[in-house]
């Protein structure tokens, strides 16, 4: 059985077309996968940003409450021990005054 030049050319064209089709399918799959990954990464980034914002808000609220509690406790101590508070204030004023003079 002899192979004609025409059948070789037709076979080569067919193989070339199949290769081109396969390359197009691979390119399409890679593009779709990249789009899916990009979407997933964006969603994960947005989720992380929401969690960080929430944690930051909670930390701020906790710090604010602790500061207010400390201020209330300090005010109570000043009311309970006014002369000690005056002595501490005088001592700190004298310390800072001497440090600033030098």
List of the chain residues with pLDDT < 70: 1-5, 102
The end-to-end CA distance of the chain, in Å, is 111
How far apart CA 40 and CA 42 sit, in angstroms, is: 5
Residue 87 pLDDT = 92
Query: Domains of the chain: which residue ranges?
Result: 9-101
Residue 32 pLDDT = 87
Residue 94 pLDDT = 92
Tokens of 95: 């310390």
pTM value is 0.47
């Amino acid at each position: 059985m002899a192979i004609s030049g025409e059948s070789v050319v037709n076979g080569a064209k067919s193989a070339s077309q199949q290769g081109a089709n396969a390359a197009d399918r691979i390119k399409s799959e890679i593009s779709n996968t990249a789009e899916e990954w990009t979407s997933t990464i964006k969603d994960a980034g947005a989720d992380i940003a929401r969690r960080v914002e929430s944690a930051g808000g909670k930390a701020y609220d906790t710090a604010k409450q602790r500061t207010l509690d400390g201020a209330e406790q300090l005010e109570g101590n000043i009311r309970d021990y006014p002369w000690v508070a005056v002595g501490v204030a005088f001592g700190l004023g004298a310390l800072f005054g001497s440090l600033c003079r030098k």
